[in-house]
Structure formats: structure tokens, C-alpha cells
A and B are shown apart, each in its own frame.
Chain A
Amino acid sequence: MAGHQNHLKALKDGVANLDFEGVQRAAEDAMREGVPPVRAIAEGLAAGLAVVGEKFERREYFLSELVVAAEVMKTGMSVIQPYLKGEGVKARGKVVLATVRGDYHDIGKSLVATLLSVNGFDVIDLGVDVPAETVVEAVLENRPQILGLSALLTVTMPEMERVISGLRAAGLRGRVRVIVGGSPVTEEFAEKIGADYRAADAVDGINKCMEWVGSTGGVESG
């Protein structure tokens, strides 16, 4: 069991230090030595990600490191995944994301998608320049708990309101929380159009999504 602890620490340190090769090696060693895959994820990779979050809070790490940590975690997951067999990793929640019609800005939305994904969310990214009707259809089809809308232009912000109106018209508004973001989007605007929250930045948005879904997701035995 002490050996298991060493492997878990190696996984945790690998993610925390953004070490792709280290995590790959640690994950292979852990699986070879019989560390239960669910433990390897929860007490190794996810624990490392928590350290990354703490470093971000202390401004030792920045957004770039959060994105890299997400990729490092994926590297470890790709090794562990085949060993999960009957065990499953339950998604923390489901989120539909879109940059609204008329707007081609993709950086903010893509960052949010990456960070949500690594934090255990099932993410459906509809892309950029997405018409309100398409967003509403995606909510109807996928039944997410959260819808995230992005706009970087004041002239495309009204599209967010159209999406929310569309959700109301389709009887879906009560079933999904709507989070809006993008540099011109203010709290006042979010309130005016009936969104649930305005994210100041990607990390703020992720934290709010985590708060909304609570700790119901995560790893469970299958």
C-alpha cells in the first residue's frame, strides 16, 4: 500500500508540476503495480489539479498553466482509462457552450470548454456564430444543467437575450441555468436579459458552474 502512495504522489506531483512525461510514466507505473484506477484518478490526477488551482489562487500559476494542467491530466487519463473496466467516472454535470450569432471570438469560450472538461463536466461546444435557434435546439436535445453564452462585441450581446427568450418560448428556461460572459458583458446586462450569472472571466465561470452542480459528480464505482 505504501507503494500505492508513492504512485499516487507521483501522479499528483506530475499534474501539479505540469509534467507530461512524468504523468505518463507515473500512470503507467501505477497501472502496472495495481493501483486501483479510480484511486489513481481521484487521489492522483485530481489531487494534482487541486494543487494547480491553489497555485492559481496564489498567482504562482496563470490561465496558461490551468490549460496546460488540463492537458497533462488528459495524458494521464488516456493511460488509466482502459483499466477502468466496469468502473466509471460520472460527469459532474453537462454544459452547452456557444459564442452567439454574429460573433467569431472563440478564445474565451474554448478556454472555458477546456477547463470545464478537465473539471469533470460533459461539455457540448457548439462553436462560434451560433444562431439562437440552434442553441435552443441543443438545450432541448442535450438537457444540460448549464448553458454558457459568450459575446465579445456590444452589437452581438443582444443575441444572448434572443437565446434566453427562445428558451422561455420553448419552455426550457426553468430547466437550465444560463451563464454569460465576454468583456463587454456586465452584471447589469446579465440581469436585464434574465441570465443567472455573468462570469468575470473563465475561472470565475468554472467556479460558478461547480458551485451550481455541487459535489454530486466525480468518481464512482460502476
Chain B
Amino acid sequence: MADMTYRERILTTLHGKRADKVPFVHLWRRLQTGEAEREARNRCMGVSWQRPCYVQSMPHVEIVERRGPSVGQSTTLVEYHTPVGTVTERLKKEPGVGEWKAQRSWRDVTPWAVERRIKKPEDYDVVRFMVEDTVYKADYFPIEQAKGWLGGDGIIYANLPHSPTQMLMIDWVGTPTFYIHYARHRDKVEELYRALDRRYEEIYRIAAESPADAVMFGDNLDGVLVNPNLFQRYFMPTYEKCARIVHEQGKPLASHFDGRLGILKDLIAKCPQDIIEAFHPPPMGDLPVREALDLWKDKVILIGFPGSVFSLGTDAVRKYMLDLLRSVIPGDRIGVEASTENLVSDEHLLVLSGILEKATLPLSNESISKIEHFLE
């Protein structure tokens, strides 16, 4: 039987069926271009590309951006003037030519808020006005273009922002302040949450009806920061709503759960997502893949190769990958992402692709030992 195309391999797995091999992908925005990348791509490495599916505007909000001696050179001060008040935030924006942040390319990456827009209780009303004033319009060009470029080399996700509560915790308030506001001004927090939850239905629909292969719904989940009570009360209902709309269009729904998930593992089992993307096993996460597969029987797990293992060198990367494959025998419902965090060195990309090009399904101890011997 001829090998599947990378696209077929990934999609077969994402739909919960057995592919010819364990899929191996790299995120487009982390992908270096060159000799090692070509070698890895020739072996087995597909591309996973998250693309926007809509544009947005706020017709009644005046946005003023300032940068210069009075506000600092390295960040942009953004003022949002609305009829009900003004909020400001300070952003680290996409760098210019020759500038990189921590050696990470900022392609496809949203600006980094170094000072968030909600600082005090009154700011919630202003931001709620902005949320309610936002107009969303479908724009599928980025997805169509990427699909055309990739062909059989990979898949496209329609990208959604963080879910409403994560939008508050991560993007607009900041987690420690969110905890305090939630304790002291819960009505304000919940009003904004409900406004976001209501408005997001539009973008769920836009994403669901897009030509993308699947929908990616945030969410940078970490169980240490998002406790089970918050998760159950504010995250799960949102996921249900999004999944209902996405599933109506026959698309799988993925979420970027890259943190420590141990404390949420039983609740995640009840969530409607089809794909847990960027799942980080120990040492960065706290839940082994085997346990997650056993608990989440209807979900596909895309493993984000832990960056901390890369820091231990090539031998450690090889051993970790082989041990990981052994732990998931027969290897159904999993895929491997080279990294969801950083650029990966050429050397490590070749180690991973060297193993995974031979990871034919179903995996067995014998087949993994053969891969190991081949590499020696």
C-alpha cells in the first residue's frame, strides 16, 4: 500500500481512524526553511497551519496608537476611546526586519500585552462596550491561500481566539488580577464573560463554515491557573456551544491545551473537543500520554514535544521519542508536533523525523526496537 500523503495521514488521525504512520507535523509559524527542514519534510514531516477566518472592526471605538519618547520606544501604547470611557494597553508588536523576540518568529503571532487593558473594575464596562461593538466579517482568503500552497503537505485550522474566560485571564486582565476581580467584582467579570460568550457565536459559525480542515479554539489551558471550579463553570459551557456549531459542519474541534492538565483530566474527558492539541507530557506537563489516552477515549492527542527535552541534547531527544512511542502502543489517536513553543534545531528536527518516518501503525515493541536498532 502506498504511503498516505501527509495531509491524508493527519486528517485520518484527526478523525479518529488509523493512518499508515504516526503523523508528524511542524507548526507553519515555527518552521525554518532550509536543508534540514527539506530533509525532514521529505521523510515525513507535514505542516500544520492555523489561519485567521475573519476580520473585525469596532465602528464606534476610536483607537489611538502612540510610540515615542513620551510612552517608550519598545512598546506601543494603544488607547481605546469609547462613548462609555477609555481603556489603554501597552503592546509589544510584531518586530521589524532583523528583530526577533527570544529567537521566535512572530509570524502569525498576535501582539504581546505587557500592560493589559483591564486594570480596575470600571474598565470592564468599557471593554464590554468594545465587545458588543465589534463587527465580525468572514474572510476565508488566508485559509484558501494556505490550502492551495500546502496541497497534500499538511492541514489548515480555522483559528479562533482564546475562549472568553481565557481572553480575560490571559489577554485583557492578567491572571492574578483576574482572581481578585473575580472575588470582588464578580458581576462585572460575568457581564463581560457573557457578552463575549454571546458574540463569539458568530465567529464559531464563521470558522465552522470556512474551508479549513478543522477549527482551533485557543486555549493555552493550564490546570494550575484554571482551577476545576472555573473550568466547569465558565470553560465547559463555552466549549459545548462552540463544538455544537463546529460539529454541525462536520469539522473536528481542537483546543490548544499545552499546560498541566492533571487536575482537570476528568473534566476534560467530558469536554466535546475532538483533538487535544499541544498536549505536553512530563517533564513539562503532569499527565502521561498513556493515561490521557485511556481517560479521553474519544479524543485525538497531538503531542507537543516538550521543549525542556530539547535542552538536554540529541540523545535525550531520541530516547524520549522512542520511550513515548512505546508508552502509546499501538499508537492510535496520537500525532506528534515538533514544537508548539520554539524553533527546533535542525539536528533535533532530523532526529524526530528519522524516528517518525518509520513509525508505522500499529506500533509494537518489536517495531519500535527495530527503529531503535536502525538508528544505532
Chain A residues with a Cβ under 8 A of chain B: 18, 20, 59, 62-64, 67-68, 71, 102-104, 106-107, 110-111, 114, 128, 153-157, 183-186, 188-189, 201-202
Contacts and interface: CB of A to CB of B under 8 A. Distances in A.
Contacts of A71: 180, 183-184
Contact of A111 (B104, B175, B306): B175
Contacts of B342: 153-155
Contact of A189 (B92, B182, B224, B308): B308
Contacts of B341: 153-154, 184
Nearest to A185: B308
If over half of B's interface residues share one DSSP class (helix, strand or loop), that class is named, otherwise mixed; here it is mixed
Interface string B251-291: 00000000110010000000000000000100110000000
Interface of B: 92, 101-104, 112, 114, 170, 174-176, 179-180, 182-184, 224-225, 227-230, 259-260, 263, 280, 283-284, 306-308, 310-312, 341-343
Nearest to A127: B114
B32 to A, nearest CB: 13
Contacts of B308: 154, 183-186, 189
A107 B92 contact: no
B363 to A, nearest CB: 27
Given A62-B227, A110-B176, A154 B182 contact: no
Given A106-B114, A155-B104, A183-B260, 7 more contacts: A63-B179, A67-B179, A68-B180, A102-B103, A110-B176, A153-B307, A183-B284
Nearest to A105: B112
A155 B176 contact: no
B183 A18 contact: yes
Contact of A154 (B174, B230, B310): B310
Contacts of A64: 179, 182, 227, 230
Leading 5 A-B pairs by shortest Cβ distance: A62-B227, A154-B307, A102-B102, A184-B308, A64-B179
A123 B302 CA distance: 40
A110 B115 CA distance: 13
Nearest to B228: A62
Contacts of B174: 106-107, 110
A104 B225 contact: no
A63 B183 contact: no
Given A153-B342, A154-B311, A155-B104, A114 B176 contact: yes
B307 to A, nearest CB: 4
A187 to B, nearest CB: 9
B89 to A, nearest CB: 14
Contact of B176 (A67, A154, A185): A67
11 contacts: A18-B183, A64-B182, A71-B180, A102-B102, A106-B114, A154-B307, A156-B102, A183-B280, A183-B308, A184-B341, A188-B312
A165 to B, nearest CB: 17
A107 B104 contact: no
A189 B306 CA distance: 14
Contacts of A185: 308
A114 B180 CA distance: 12
Contacts of A106: 114, 174
Contacts of A201: 224
A202 B179 CA distance: 15
Nearest to B285: A183
Contacts of A111: 175-176
A29 B93 CA distance: 50
Given A64-B182, A68-B183, A128 B306 contact: no
Given A63-B225, A67-B179, A189 B311 contact: yes
A111 to B, nearest CB: 6
Contacts of A155: 102-104, 342-343
Contact of B307 (A59, A63, A184, A202): A184
A183 B311 contact: no
Q: With a 10 A CB-CB cut-off, give which of A107, A156, A189 has the most chain B CB atoms.
A: A107
A128 B183 contact: no
A184 B339 CA distance: 12
A184 B311 contact: yes
A102 to B, nearest CB: 4
B265 to A, nearest CB: 14
B92 A104 contact: yes
B103 A107 contact: no
A103 B259 CA distance: 18
A102 B175 CA distance: 21
B179 A128 contact: no
